[in-house]
């Protein structure tokens, strides 16, 4: 374990033997940090925060601060972080609230770029990428392998599915279903599939074509959502990827973002 002399590490904090703590870091009493993790200079980790193995936290990040929520009364809520994440400069990750389940979590192998904010009770999956200054309000869920563009803001309680791409400078106020590409300024819309992302993750031509066909039925035929789901269940029975989209849509509380039907979508969703 390497702790710089200028760092302040509480004697009751639990750090694995090969953790590195850089200059002017502050590590609180209830913090747990797993093996191979490194805190660069000026990192603050406080509260009931658990950081897994081989995470790298860059200068001026603040992890485990109290939730920015008027109902919070000092309860011992948590931040839980998996393994192999990169957390860049000035990232803030707040603890959960009792009302929201008490935990803010980040999976493994994610990248949170500079100035990202993750608010109370967010649940982020594995292989997440959030670009510079993207901000999440409370209670947001993001699935595995999803990308959030820089300067994008996401409203509380919104869900973003697996393999989603959200463009930069967006405002997300409704759920984004799995495999979709969303973009737009004041209010983001669906522009089709995240085709490039799916290709990069090894989705076959046939698999993407099937998803495109399902997407067109669900979002571009003019059917009401409930009717479109019913039709898709019948037409795509037994198709696991489509079933994931349908289950996601049926679980929405915020509503599903609308799809753009103009020719502009073809710039973002090219057939493979």
Q: Which residues carry out catalysis? A: 120-121, 138
CB of 162 closer than 8 Å to CB of 146: yes
**Nearest in space to 62 (alpha carbons), one of 34, 40, 32:** 40
CA distance 233 to 243: 8
CA distance 115 to 141: 19
CA distance 81 to 43: 15
CA distance 161 to 244: 9
SS3 231: helix
With 0-12 / 13-18 / 19 or more C-beta atoms within 10 angstroms meaning exposed / middle / buried, residue 216 is middle
Distance of CA 6 to the CA centre of its chain: 33
- Secondary structure element (H or E) that encloses residue 206, with its range: helix 205-219
């Amino acid at each position: 374990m390497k702790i710089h002399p200028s760092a302040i590490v509480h004697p009751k904090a639990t750090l694995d033997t090969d953790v590195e703590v850089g200059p002017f870091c502050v590590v609180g009493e209830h913090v747990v940090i797993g093996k191979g993790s490194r805190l660069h200079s000026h990192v603050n980790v406080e509260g009931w925060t658990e950081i897994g193995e081989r995470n790298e936290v860059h200068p001026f990040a603040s992890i485990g601060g109290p939730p920015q929520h008027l109902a919070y009364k000092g309860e011992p809520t948590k931040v839980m972080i998996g393994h192999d994440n990169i957390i860049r400069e000035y990232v803030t990750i707040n603890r959960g609230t009792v009302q929201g389940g008490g935990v803010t979590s980040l999976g493994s192998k994610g990248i949170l770029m500079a100035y990202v904010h993750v608010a109370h009770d967010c649940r982020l999956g594995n292989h997440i990428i959030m670009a510079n200054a993207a901000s999440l309000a409370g209670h947001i869920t993001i699935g595995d392998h999803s990308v959030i563009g820089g300067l994008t803001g996401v409203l509380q309680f919104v869900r973003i599915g697996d393999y989603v791409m959200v463009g930069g400078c967006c405002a997300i106020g409704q759920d984004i279903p799995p495999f979709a590409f969303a973009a737009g300024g004041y209010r983001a819309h669906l522009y089709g599939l995240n085709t490039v992302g799916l290709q990069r993750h090894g989705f076959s031509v046939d698999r993407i074509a099937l998803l495109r066909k399902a997407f067109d039925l669900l979002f571009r035929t003019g059917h009401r959502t409930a009717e479109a789901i019913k039709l898709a269940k019948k037409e795509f029975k037994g198709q696991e990827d489509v079933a994931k989209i349908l289950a996601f849509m049926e679980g929405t509380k915020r509503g599903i973002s609308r799809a753009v039907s103009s020719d502009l979508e073809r710039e973002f969703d090219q057939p493979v």
